[in-house]
Amino acid sequence: MAIWPRIGDTGHDGRVAQLAIDIGRELGMGRTELEVLGRAGLLHDVGKLGIPGAILDKPAALSEGEWRVMRTHPELGLAILGATGRFTREMLAVLYHHERVDGAGYPHGLTAAEIPIEARIVAVADTFDALVSDRPYRHAFTYAEAVARVRHESGTHLDPLAVGALARVLKSRRHSVHGHQQQSFSGQPSAA
Ligand SMILES: [Fe+2]
Q: Is residue 190 part of a domain?
A: no
- The rounded Å distance from CA 37 to ligand 1 centre is 15
pLDDT in tens, 115-164: 999 999 999 999 999 999 887 778 899 888 999 999 999 999 999 999 99
- Domain of 152, CATH number, reads 1.10.3210.10
Catalytic residue among 8, 10, 13, 48: 48
- The rounded Å distance from CA 138 to ligand 1 centre is 18
* C-alpha span between 136 and 155 (Å, rounded): 28
Q: Is residue 192 part of a domain?
A: no
Structure confidence at residue 175 (pLDDT): 54
- The rounded Å distance from CA 190 to ligand 1 centre is 26
Asked whether residue 188 carries a pLDDT value surpassing 50, the answer given is no
Q: Is residue 188 part of a domain?
A: no
- The rounded Å distance from CA 6 to ligand 1 centre is 23
N residues, the chain: 192
Q: Is residue 105 part of a domain?
A: yes
**Which pairs from 25-29 meet CB under 8 Å and 24+ separation?**
25/190, 25/192, 26/165, 26/166, 26/168, 26/169, 27/121, 27/161, 27/162, 27/165
Number of domains present in the structure of the chain: 1
Q: Is residue 180 part of a domain?
A: no
SS3 109: coil
**Is 48 tagged catalytic?**
yes
pLDDT in tens, 6-40: 444 468 999 999 999 999 999 999 999 999 999 99
Domain residues for 35? 4-175
Average pLDDT over residues 164-188: 63
- The rounded Å distance from CA 58 to ligand 1 centre is 16
DSSP label at residue 158:
B
Q: Is residue 101 part of a domain?
A: yes
pLDDT in tens, 61-115: 899 999 999 999 999 999 999 998 999 999 999 999 999 999 999 999 999 999 9
Q: Is residue 139 part of a domain?
A: yes
